[in-house]
Structure 1
Amino acid sequence: MKNNESTKLSEIAQKSLASLMSDYQTTSQGLTQTDADNRLKKYGENTIQTVKKRSELFVFIENFTSMMAILLWVSGIIATFSGMLELGIAIWTVNVINGCFSYWQQHAAQKATDSLKKMLPSYVKVTRNGKIKQIREEELVPGDLFTLQAGDAIPADARIFNCSNLQVDESSLTGESLPVDKGNQYQQGDGKFAQNNIVFAGTTVTSGTASGIVFATGMTTEFGRIAQLTQNQKKVIYPLQRELNQLTRQLTLIAISIGTVFFLLAIFFVHSPIASSFIFALGMIVAFIPEGLLPTVTLSLAQGTQRMAKHHALLKNLNSVETLGETTVICSDKTGTLTQNQMTVNHIWLISKQYDVSGTGYFTNGSVSSASGNIILEEEADLRELLQIATLDNDTEVTEGKENEKSKILGTPTEAALIILTRKAGIDSQHENQKFPRLKELPFDSNRKLMSIISKTQTGTPIIYTKGALSSELQICDQILDAGQIRALTEADRKKILAINEKYAREGLRSLAFSFRKVVDQDPLMDQKIDSYTIENAERHMVFVGLVTMSDPPRPEIFDAVKKCHHASIKIIMVTGDSPITAKSIATKIGITSDKARIITGSELDQLSDDDLQRAVKDEVIFARVAPEHKFRIVSMCQKNGEIVASTGDGVNDAPALKRADIGIAMGVTGTDVAKDAADMILTDDNFASIVSAIEEGRTVYKNLQKFLLYILNSNVPEAAPSIVFLLTKGLVPLPLTVMQILTVDLGTDLLPALGLGVEKSEPGVMDLPPRPRDSHLLNKSIIIKAFVLYGLVASIISICAYFFVNYIHGWPSVALMASGAGYAKATTMTLGAIIFCQIAAAMNCRTQISSVFSIGLFSNRRIWLGIIAELALFAVLIYTPFLQEIFNTQPLNLVEWFFLFCIPIPLFLLEELRKFFVRRTKSHN
C-alpha cells in the first residue's frame, strides 16, 4: 500500500463518528433512498471489475495463427498453385483439425475454471430512512450504514462504530491465518490494514456483530485497488510458446534452405524443367516440415491437463503444462497450502503433568494417552477442569449434520479447536452448557486479551471461567490448581509457566491459558447480582489451571512433496502474512529450510534495495508479515535472477504476484475470484503436493515432446534420401518416393504412433533431475544426431534397399529402372512401406531415453500399439483401394514383399535396446 493510502485509512480510523458522518453526508438514520440512488449513479455498483474477456471469435482465430500454423497455410497454398490440390487440402485439413482441437481444450478449461468461482453474498442489511432493509450488495454506496454478524462476508470498506466480540478473518487480504480482533475504539496495530476499527471488503466475520459506515465501494476498496493492480500486469509469454516459435523458425529455415538447394540442383545438375524442379523442391520442403507437430503438442498438453486434473490441478492454458516442468522456484503461501488451515491442539500443559495430543484419537471415551500411560479422565481433576473451561468459555456452535452429512462447527478457528478437543475427550458441549448454564459473558477484547463467562453450578453458586493470553492470565491469578488441590501461585510457578510457554512459542505454537474462580461464601461477589459482575471485580483472584497450545498443522502429504522438490532442485520460498516465529517453525518442520534460514519481514523488505533482495532470494530465506506489493516484488526479483517462478495464493493480495509469475497457482477452495482470474492453474484441493505432481507432469510432457521430435524427424532423412539418390544419379534413378507418399508418412502413418508418444508415462527418476537450463531447446544436439545420423541414416539405407529390391525382382540391373507404370508404383510403395516399418521400430525405441522399454512394459502404452495397428491398416488401405492407388501412386504387395517389410522392426528395436544397455552401464560406472 502506498503511504498516502495508508495515511488516508489512519485518518478515517481516527476521526470521530460525527465528523465521519459529516464527511459522507449521512446520519444515524442512514441515507435516504434518494441519496442512495444518486450515489449509486455517481460511484457505480459495488462490484469488482474483472478484466474484459477477449471475444470467443478472437480466441478461436488465435489458434490458427501460430508460426507453425502460418507455415502450413503457406505450404498448402504453394502446393495448390503447383497443381497438387490434394496435397494442399491435406495440409490445410491438418491445420483446421489442430486449431479446432486446441480451441476446444481451452474452452473446456475455461468453463471448468468459471464453475469454481465463488459468488460473494448477494444481500446486506443497511439502515435507510431510519429503517433496516435488505439490499443487494451491488447497491451499497459510500455513506451507507450496515450491520454484520458471524459468517458474513464484508462487502465494502467500512469504519466500525459499534461492535460486540467482533473478529474478522483477513487472510484473503493480509495472509494472516488467525482472526483479527476488531473494536470501535481506534488502535493502530503492526503492519498494513492494521486499523482495528476498520473492516475491509473481501474479508469475513468469524464471530460477533458490528455496525459500520461505508467509506469505499467497488474498485475504490483495498480489495478493488489490488484487483486493479493485477489487471494492469501484462502476462508473460509461456516458455513453450517461445520454444515452439524458435523450433518453427529452425525447421522452416532448414526446410526452405534444403528445398532451395534441391531446386537449384534439379535445374542446373539434372536439367529438369522449372515446374518439375519446383514440385521436386516442394516435396523436400514438405519432407522436412513436421506437419504433425502441432497436433501432437496439443494432444500432449491436453493429456497433461487431464492427468493433472486427476491430481486436483486445473490448468487454464495448455501451454502452462510444460512451463510447470521448467519451474525452479515456488513462492508458496503457508496457510491452507502448506498447512491444513485448521487450528489443532498440540499440547495440554498442567503444573504437574503435560500431554502431547498432536496425533489423532488421543481422546477417546474419556481417556487420554500420554507417555506415562492411559490416564482416566475422571481421575484427573486438573485435566477435567481445563476441559470444562474450554467447553463452557466458548462461543462456538456445533450443528449436527443431517443424514450422510458431517457436523459443522461455527466459530473462530481457536475456539473450534477447543471444541474438537473436548469432543475427543467425550464431552458433550450442549449437555455441559445445560448442566452449567451461562449467566453472563465478559466478552474478549484486544486490550485485556481475555474472555470470561459466569456460569451457575449445580449447587446454584456462580463460577467464573476465563481463557486468554498467558500474560493477561498471570496478572489476575494468585492461586494454582495442582493435582486437584488449590494452592498459592508462587514465583517459582510463574517462572516455570513462562519458561514452558517460551519453549512452545519457539516451536511456533500459539498458547491459551485457562483459569477459574468459584464464588463461595467469603467472596465479595457472593451477595451481588449477576448484572453487577464486571471485568474489574470478576477477573481477579483467579486459580490458574494450565495451558493449551495449538497450531495450524502441516498437510500430511507436504513432507514427501518438499523432499521431491529438493531432489528436483526446486527451491521453495515461503511468503506469508503470518508471524516470523510461526513461519520459521513450519518451514523448518516440513523441511523447506534449515534453522539457518534468514527471515525477512515486510517492514525489513521495505528497506531492501532491489539488488539486496535479488541476492537475498538466492539463499535460504523466509518472508513473513508481507503485503501485496511485497509478494509481487519477491517474484519479480526471482525472475531477474533467471528463475522460472511458480507463485501460489488465495487472496486478493496474491493476485498481482500470481499474474506476474511464470505460473500463477490459485486456491480453488479458499481462493478469491480475483486470484483465480489472475492464475494459470487452480488447485481444487488447495494442496501443495498437487503442485509437485503437476510439475512432474510438466516435465514428462516436455520429455514426451522431445521423444515425438526424435520420432518425427528421423523419418525426414528416409523421406529425403530418395530425392538425393535422384539428384546424385542425375535422374537416372526415378524418384523412389512421391510428394503425396511423403505427406502420407508425415500426416498419416507417422502421426498416429507419435500421438501415443505424447502421452507416454514418465521414466523413473524424472524428479531426481534439476530443471533444464533456460537456454536448452526442444531440438538439441542429441536429438539431431539420433534423428538424422543414427535412426534416420539406417532407415534411409533400408528404404532405398527396399526400392531396389522390388526393381531387382523385376529384372534390374539387366532391365532399366522403371520411371512409370505399375512396376514403378510398386517400387515406390515398397519404399513407403520400408519407411513405415522402420518407424514402427522407432516408435518403440523412442518410448525411453535410457531405460529399457521392457522395464516400463512393452505393452504398457496402448496408444502406441493402437497407432501401429492403425498405420498398418492405413498403409493397406492405400495400396489395396483402387482410387487411392492413383492418388498416392501405390500398388498391392505380394507375400515376399510383406515378409521383407515385417523383418525390418525387430533387429532395429533389439539393437537400440543393446545401445541403451551400454549407456546405462557406462553411467552406473561413472
Structure 2
Amino acid sequence: MAKSLRRGMGQEHHRWVGVVVEPPRDPSVREGPEVARDLGVDPATGLAPAEAARRLHGDGPNELRAAPPVPTWRRVLRQFQDPLVYLLLVAVVISTAAWLAEGGAGAPVDALVISAIVVLNGILGFVQENRAEAAVKALQSMTDATSTVLREGELRTVPSRELVRGDILVLNEGDAVGADARVLTAAALRVSEASLTGESEPVTKSAATLTEHLPLGDRRDMVFRGTSVVQGVGRAVVTATGMGTEVGSIAEMLEDTREEPSPLQKEITRVSRLLGITVVVIAVVVMVVTALVNEISTFGHLVTVLLLGVSLAVAAVPEGLPAILSVVLAIGVQQLARHKAIVKKLHSVETLGSATVIASDKTGTLTKNEMTIQRIRTFSGEVELTGVGYRPEGTALVDGAPLSNPALQREARMVLAGGSLANDAQLTHRDGQWQIQGDPTEAAFLVASHKLAGAVDRVRQFRRRDEIPFTSERKMMSALVTGGAEGTAVVSKGAPDVLLQRCVAVQVGDQTLPLDADRRAAALAAVEELSAQSFRTLGVAYRWVDDPDTVGPLDVADERNLVYLGVVGIIDPPRPEVAGAIAEAHRAGVRVMMITGDHPTTAARIAADLGIVEPGATALTGTELDALPPDQLEEVTATTSVYARVAPRNKLQIVDALQARGEVVAMTGDGVNDAPALKSADIGVAMGITGTPVTREAAKMILADDNFATIVAAVRQGRAIFDDIKKFLRYLLSSNMGEVFTVFFGVVLAGFIGIGAGSGQEIVVPLLATQILWINLVTDSGPALAMGVDPEIDDVMKRPPRRSTDRLIDGEMWRGIMSVGLVMGIATLLTMDIFLPGGLVEGSDSLEMARTAGFTTLVFAQFFNAFNSRSETTSAFRHLFSNRWLWASVGLGVVLQVAVVEMPLLQRAFGTVPLDAAHWAVAVAMASTVLWFDELRKLVLRAGRRKAASTTDRTSRG
C-alpha cells in the first residue's frame, strides 16, 4: 500500500485494497456520484469498517497538526533572553571580580542583589505565562466531537478524528461538520459557516453541481469542517480530512506566519543597548579622568580607580528595571483579567496601548451573531422592535412612541405569530442564558413575539399538524396549524417576492382586501426599502381552511390563495456597547476597521451604524482586493475601512499592508478564518466564548466575554502602562545620572570644592561604593515600583497613539534626565562644599560629616525627583496625593535613610556619622532644589507647547 499524504487534497494517487482512489481536486465543480466513485465508495452503503481503518492508518487522524509543546526548561530560559538582562549579568561578573580584587571579604552584596533581581524577573515572566496558558486551556476544554457516518450500510457514530476520505457523512440539525465533504443529498439543509467565512446568515446547501470555481462562502454543494448544521438533513462524501481541509489550509498559513516582537520589546532592546554603551563609556571616562588628575603610584591606587569605575557602572545601570517592568506589566495583566481580558504575554498589554488600528471581524465581535427582527412592515405602517439578540426583551415603537394604532398592532401581531408557527427553531432559557436551537433567522420570530403584546398568546392557541420544510429552490416553508375554536390555517413564510405570487389578498386591520396591482407594488416597494437598509426580509402569509379534513398531508398545492400579512426586517445587530467603544477609540486617534466575510451591503450598513464610516460608504470586496496591483494595496488600506466577502489570505494581506505603512495593528476575530491575521498582527485578540481553539491559540489576548468594548478599555490600560513605564524610566535614569555626575565631578573637581583637603589621602571619592549601593537599594526599588502603578495624571485617550518611530526615551526626555541628574550632582557636591574646609564655601566639618550630608542630600533629592517624574510637563503638585504607594515608599525610604545615618551599627557598615538639625536642614533644602528646578523646566515646556499649538491653529485656520 502506497504511503498517502496527510493532506487529503494532495497530488498523489492512493491505493487501498486494489482500488485506485484519486482525491478530487475541486469537488464543487464535479458531480457528486463522480466524486464518490473517485473516492472508491458506494454512497448507498458507505465504507467497510476495515477499509475505513486502512485509510485512517494511511492518511492519519482527522486532526490539525499541532506544534510540539515547548519544554519547561526552554520556557524558563526564554525569560532571560533580554539585552537588559545580559547587561545586568555582565554587571554581576564585574561586581564579583571587584569584590575578589578587594580580597573577597564579607559577601559580594552588589552581585547578589543584581542576581536576585534577574531571577525575580524571570520568575514573574514564567508564572504569568503559566497562568495565561492555564486560562487558555480552560477556555478550550470541551468534549471530543463525533460524527454520524454510513459504514457498510449502517449508521454509526464515530469520533470526528477517525473520519476518512470517502466516508459518507449523515448530517442532521445541530451536528458539527467533522470534515470537508461534497453534498450528495440535501433536504432544507442549512449550515452556519460564520466561524470559517464570517458570513452571519446560515448557507443553504444543495447537491447541484457548481458550474465554476467560486469563493469558499459561495460553494453551496460543499460542507466544511468547523461549521454546524442549523436546519435540515443531508448526506455528503468526505473529500478532505486533517490538514487537507479548508481549516487545515488556514492552519498551514498560521504555521508560516511570523510573529513580530512587540513595540515595547523593540524599544526596551534599543534602550538596553544604549544603556550598555553608556555604562562602558562612563566607566572608561571616569577611570581615565581619575587617573589623569590623581597620581597613580601604587597597585592600591589602581584598584581604587578600577573600583570607582565599577561602582559608577553599577550606579548607571537601573538594576531594578527588568523586575519593575515585569511587575508593572503583570499588574496590568491582572487588572485586565478582572475585566475579562486574558493576556498571554506580558508585553502584549503595552502593545494595545500603541495600537493605531483595530481591525475587527464583524460577526460575533462587533455584532452579537444573533439574528434579530427590528422592523415589521404591514399595509398600515411600520413597527420598530427594540432590544437585540436572543433575550426576549424590548418594546414595539412607531416613530419613537409606543405602538397604539389598533389596526397596525393587529397586523404586526399576526405577522409575528405566523412566523413563529411556520418555524422549526426553539428558544429556551437555561442557566440564566437564552439559547436557540435551529435556524437563527427562524428563532428571531420566537424572540420578537415576546416583545409585542398578545403575539405569544396567539401562538400558544395553535398546534402544528404538518409542514412543508424550507428549501433553497422554493424559498419558503409552510405549516398546517389548528387552533381549536380558532380553526385551521395554512401559515407560510419565505422570500416576499415568492410569497406574494401565491397571495390573492392582504390583511388590513381586521379586514382582508384584494391584492390588486397597486397593493402588490406597495408591498414590493416596502421590501426594497428594507433591503436597501441592509435588512434581510421575510414575508408572512396565511389562509383559513374551511374544511380541515380536505388538507393533509400538506403539499405545495395548499400554498395558494394566501392572505399577505407583511414583511419583517432581520439583521445581526451591533452589540450595544460597541458604538461607544468605537467613538472612544476614534477620540484616542485609533482607526477602527471592519474586515468580514459577510455581504458588502450588510457590512457597510453595520459599519455606518457603529460610526466606523460615514453613512453611504461602501465596502471593498475580497475579489476587488485580489484584482489590485501589489503597489496599490497600501494606498487602499490607508483610505478604506470596510472590507467584505474576504478570504483568510485577504485578511492577512490587509494586516501586512497596514504594518508596512508603520501601523501598529490589533486584529480581533473569532473564526478559524481570522487566525492567520491574528497571529500576524501586532496583537491578535480572540473571542473566548465564540472563538475557535485555533483562533485562541493564534491570539496574544483573549476576551473571555467577547466584548469589543473590553478592547478599547485595554487600549487605555496599555497607554497608562506605557506612561508608567516612562515615569519610572525617567526616575531611574535621572536618579542614576545624579549619582554618576556626583562621583564624576566630585573626583574631577575635588580640589576646587574642598573634597580631600587635609585628608592625607591621594585619591578621595565623594561617595563610597557601599553608599552608592544603598542609594540604589532604597531609591531605585520602592518609588520606582510605586510609579509603575501610578494613576493617570492626564487623559491618555485624549492624545494620538504612539507612532512606531517614536522613542521610548525621546530627545526631550533625555534632556530632562540629564538636566535633573546634573542638578542632583551639583546640589550634592555643593552640600559637601558647604561643610568642608576650603572650596567655594568655607566650612569646618570632617570629610566623613560632609560626605554623610552629601549622601543624604542625594537620597532626598531622588525622593523629590520621584514626584517630578510622574509627568514630563505636568506639575508635581497636580494630583499630589493620588498615589498612596508612592508616599508610602518615600516615607519608608526617609525612615531608612535616617536609620543609616543615626544608628551606630549601620554607620559602621556605610561609613556615615550622625548629623545635627542644621546638617539635616541644609541637606533637605539642597535636595529640594531638584523639585523647584524641574517645576521651572516644566513651566517653560508647557508655555512652549501652548505657543506651538497656537501657531498651528492659526496656520490651519489661515
TM-score normalised to the size of structure 1? 0.91
* 1:604–1:8 Cα change, 3 Å: farther
**AA matched with 2:779:** T
**Residues 118 and 672 of structure 1 are in contact (CA less than 8 Å); yes or no, is this contact kept in structure 2?**
no
Contact 2:827 2:929 in 1 (8 A): no
The 3 A distance-change label for structure 1 pair 568 and 583 is: same
Tell me which residue corresponds to 1:530: 552
Whole-angstrom CA distance in 1 between matches of 2:324 and 2:266: 17
Alignment of structure 1 residues 754-765 onto 2, 5 Å: 754-765=784-795
Q: Which amino acid aligns with 1:124?
A: S
Shift of 1:472: 1.4
Distance 1:908 1:225 in 2: 61
The corresponding residue for 2:770 is 740
Distance 2:380 2:881 in 1: 65
- Measure the CA separation in 2 of the matches of 1:202 and 1:291: 50
Give 1:366-385 correspondences, 5 Å limit.
Answer: 368-371=396-399, 374-375=403-404, 380-385=409-414
Bigger mean CA offset, 678-687 vs 498-507:
498-507
1:478–1:542: 8 Å Cα contact kept in structure 2?
yes
1:606 matched to 2:626: yes
Map of 1:455-494 to 2, 5 A cutoff?
455-458=481-484, 462-494=488-520
Aligned position for 1:717: 737
TM-superposed deviation, 1:501: 2.2
1:131 corresponding residue in structure 2:
154
1:504-523 CA-to-partner distances (Å, cap 9, x unmatched) read 222222211111122336xx
Distance 1:68 1:367 in 2: 60
Q: Pick from 214, 222, 239: which aligns with 1:215?
A: 239
Q: Specify every segment of 5 or more residues in structure 2 that has no aligned partner in the other structure, as ranges.
A: 1-6, 12-22, 101-107, 758-763, 951-958
User: 1:821: which partner in 2?
Assistant: none
Mapped to 2, the partners of 1:598 and 1:293 lie a distance apart of 49
Equivalent of residue 194 in structure 1, options 198, 206, 218: 218
Q: Does 1:256 find its partner at 2:284?
A: no
1:66 to 74, 82, 91: 82
Amino acid at match of 1:772: R
- Aligned letter for 1:65? Q
Q: Residue 806 and residue 41 in structure 1: after superposition, are their counterparts in 2 closer, same or farther (change >3 A)?
A: farther
Maintained 8 Å contact 2:183/2:221: yes
Residue identity matched to 2:314:
V
Alignment partner of 1:416 is 2:443: yes
- Give SS of 2:576's match: coil
Q: Which amino acid aligns with 2:505?
A: Q
| Shift in Å, 1:243 | 0.9
Return the match for 1:329 from 357, 362, 367: 357
Residue in 2 that maps onto 1:446:
472
Deviation at 1:674, TM superposition (A): 0.8
- 1:300 — aligned with what? 328
Distance 1:386 1:235 in 2: 53
Counterpart amino acid of residue 252 in structure 1? G
Aligned in 2, Cα 1:787/1:308: closer, same or farther, shift over 3 Å?
A: same
**What CA deviation, in whole Å up to 9, does each residue of 1:544-585 have, x standing for no partner?**
110111212222222222222222222222111111111111
Q: Is the 8 A contact 1:270 1:727 kept in 2?
A: no
Cα deviation for residue 853 of structure 1 reads 4.5
CA distance in 2, matches of 1:116, 1:233: 24
2:583 to 537, 553, 563: 563
- Of the structure 1 ranges 126-135 and 772-781, higher mean CA displacement relative to structure 2 is found in 126-135
Distance in 2, matches of 1:171 and 1:588, equals: 21
2:56 is matched with which residue: 40, 54, 63?
Answer: 40
Please show how residues 19-38 of structure 1 align to structure 2 within 5 Å.
20-21=36-37, 23-25=39-41, 28-38=44-54
Change (3 A) 1:203 1:886: farther
CA distance in 2, matches of 1:640, 1:360: 38
CA apart distance, 1:685: 1.9
CA 1:490 to 1:901, structure 2 compared with 1: closer, same or farther past 3 Å? farther
**8 Å contact from structure 2 (residues 312, 743) kept in 1:** no
Counterparts of 1:813-824 in structure 2, within 5 Å, are 818=847, 824=848
CA contact under 8 A between 1:365 and 1:426: conserved in structure 2?
no
Alpha carbons of 1:376 and 1:345: their partners in 2 closer, same or farther (altered >3 Å)? same
1:378·1:384 contact (CA, 8 Å) conserved in 2? no
What is the match of residue 802 of structure 1? 831
In structure 1, C-alpha distance between the alignment counterparts of 2:786 and 2:404, rounded to whole Å: 61
Instruction: Return the letter of the residue paired with 1:692.
Output: V
- What are structure 1's unaligned runs of at least 5 residues? 819-823
Answering whether residue 423 of structure 2 is matched by residue 394 of structure 1, we say: yes
The alignment yields a C-alpha RMSD, in angstroms, of 3.1
Cα distance, 1:222 vs. partner?
0.9
What one-letter code is carried by the residue in structure 1 that aligns with 2:798? D
Structure 1 partner of 2:292: 268
Query: What secondary structure is seen at the aligned counterpart in 2 of 1:718?
Result: helix
Q: Where do 1:581-596 residues align within 5 Å? A: 581-595=601-615
Paired with 1:128 and 1:619, the residues of 2 have a C-alpha distance of 54
Amino acid at match of 2:665: V
Structure 1 match to 2:207: 184
Structure 1's 361 and 601: CA in aligned 2 closer, same or farther, altered over 3 A? closer
Q: Distance in 2 between matches of 1:9 and 1:761?
A: 59
Tell me which residue corresponds to 2:721: 701
Work out the number of aligned pairs and report it. Answer: 908
Match of residue 241 from structure 1: 265
Deviation at 1:461, TM superposition (A): 5.6
Displacement after TM superposition at 1:625 (Å):
0.6
Given that 1:14 and 1:186 are in contact with CA atoms closer than 8 Å, whether structure 2 keeps it comes out as yes
1:834 matches 2:857: yes
Q: Structure 1 residues 362 and 33, CA, compared in 2 at 3 Å: closer, same or farther?
A: closer
Residues 807-828 of structure 1 deviation map (CA, whole Å, 9 limit, x = unaligned): 469999576954xxxxx2x543
1:310 aligns to 2:330 (yes or no)? no
Q: Give the 5 Å matches for 1:761-910.
A: 761-789=791-819, 791-805=820-834, 807=836, 818=847, 824=848, 826-855=849-878, 857-879=879-901, 884-903=906-925, 908-909=930-931
Change (3 A) 1:830 1:149: farther
Paired residues of 2:372 and 2:390 also in contact (CA < 8 A): no
> Contact 1:368–1:376 (CA<8 Å) still a contact in 2?
no
Matched, 1:50 2:66: yes
In terms of mean alpha carbon deviation, does 25-34 or 767-776 score higher?
25-34
Which one of 658, 662, 667 corresponds to residue 638 of structure 1? Answer: 658
Structure 1 residues 634 and 865: alpha-carbon distance in aligned structure 2, compared to 1, 3 A threshold:
same
* 2:347 alignment partner AA: N
C-alpha displacement at 1:601, in angstroms? 0.9
Percentage of matched positions with identical amino acids = 33
State the Cα deviation string for residues 72-107 of structure 1 (Å, max 9, x = none). 111111121122622222222221122222222222
CA contact (8 A) 1:707 1:847 kept: yes
Q: 1:843-869 CA distances to partner (integer Å, 9 max, x unpaired)?
A: 1122233334454x3222122122212
Q: 2: distance between equivalents of 1:368 and 1:709?
A: 57
CA contact (8 A) 2:367 2:573 kept: yes
What is the rounded CA distance, in whole Å, between the counterparts of 1:516 and 1:56 in structure 2? Answer: 67
